[in-house]
Amino acid sequence: MAYSGVLPSARSRAMVSESRHLLMTVAPGAVWIFIFLVLPSFYLMSVAFMTNGTYGLPEMPLSLESFKRLAGFGFLGWSAGNLFTLLRSLWQTVVSTGLVIIIAYPIAYYITTCREKWRPIMLLLVVVPSWTNQVIRTFGWMNLLAPGTPLAEFAQMLGLVPANMGLYPSNFAVTLGLVYNFLPFMVLPLYAAFEKLDHAQVQAAQDLYASPVRAFWHAVFPQTLPGLLAGIVLVAIPAFGMYVIPELLGGGKGMMLGNLVANQFSGGSNWPLGAAGAILMLIATFIGLYAMRRIGKRLGGGEEVVI
């Protein structure tokens, strides 16, 4: 529109210079991401369809061997190990995301009820632990759950763990670690949603004698849904591919997909199998993102989820 009065040639020259400007500013970073992330990802995906060579490196005849291995078909016939790992990843993701939601809702709400002056400090208090390194945070839980600590002794008293044992390695410890790790990622978007809450709707529900539960469900919940969905994306996707926490707190029986994949690239040395697992993770990631966008668009009253 701005060029409507200008001669066509001058206009196209301006367009060319604009395009050159776009290229000059955006290209260096875009090319960087393309070379160092898009190409490697495509290479990884292609590896999944290759055969496992002698040193664990991929070799040429294309095959679906690694996907069969992932589904449990090995040299010794079918075994359920890999499938269990997959199911465990899903289960851990669902449980920990659910727990995170249950904890984050009251916390996010509570922060909005406090004086405005305190809110940034309260949010900071929630976020600061996640600034420390993930390995250190998980190590903290190892310290807490080790044999002989008050928590472990308490669990022994209740008969939950055998004598002289710690609370890790176990699936419980992994869930705990996941909840701990991802809580801030749910509190922040939920807080943003609560802060924008239209209190008139809640008031209207109360005026119509809605019970607190119904008032929450019909007046509050739909308004916080975009924040909740953003939180689920931020929690569930990284939880599904988590590596550090199950590796340190889970042991062999708490292994998740991330460990299965990583092991093929470090100790186990079967790149195609690891790459097949990575493809599975990618599919889960994109399905998750897509589903959240769809649901968000439908339920969020046209408001797009922040992702």
Retrieve residue 271's tokens: 């790149």
CB of 174 to another protein, least distance (A): 14
Retrieve residue 216's tokens: 């929450």
Spatial separation of the C-alpha atoms in residues 147 and 7, rounded to whole Å: 81
CB of 99 to another protein, least distance (A): 11
Q: Which residue number, 139 or 172, has a Cβ lying nearer to another protein?
A: 139
Residue 76 main-chain phi, psi, to 5 deg: -100, 30
Q: Which residue number, 76 or 207, has a Cβ lying nearer to another protein?
A: 207
Strand partners, 78: 73
Q: Which residue number, 72 or 238, has a Cβ lying nearer to another protein?
A: 238
DSSP string, the chain: -TTTTS-HHHHHHHHHHHHHHHHHHHHHHHHHHIIIIIHHHHHHHHHTTSEE-TTS-EESS--SHHHHHHTTEETTEE-SHHHHHHHHHHHHHHHHHHHHHHHHHHHHHHHHHS-TTTHHHHHHHHHGGGGS-HHHHHHHHHHHHSTTSHHHHHHHHTTSS-TT--S-SSHHHHHHHHHHHHHHHHHHHHHHHHHT--HHHHHHHHHTT--HHHHIIIIIHHHHHHHHHHHHHHHHHHHHT--HHIIIII-GGG--HHHHHHHHHTTS--HHHHHHHHHHHHHHHHHHHHHHHHHHHHHTTTPPP--
Q: Which residue number, 104 or 225, has a Cβ lying nearer to another protein?
A: 104
Spatial separation of the C-alpha atoms in residues 8 and 149, rounded to whole Å: 79
CB of 17 to another protein, least distance (A): 11
Q: Which residue number, 80 or 136, has a Cβ lying nearer to another protein?
A: 136
CB of 62 to another protein, least distance (A): 17
CB of 53 to another protein, least distance (A): 12
CB of 283 to another protein, least distance (A): 11
CB of 37 to another protein, least distance (A): 5
CB of 76 to another protein, least distance (A): 26
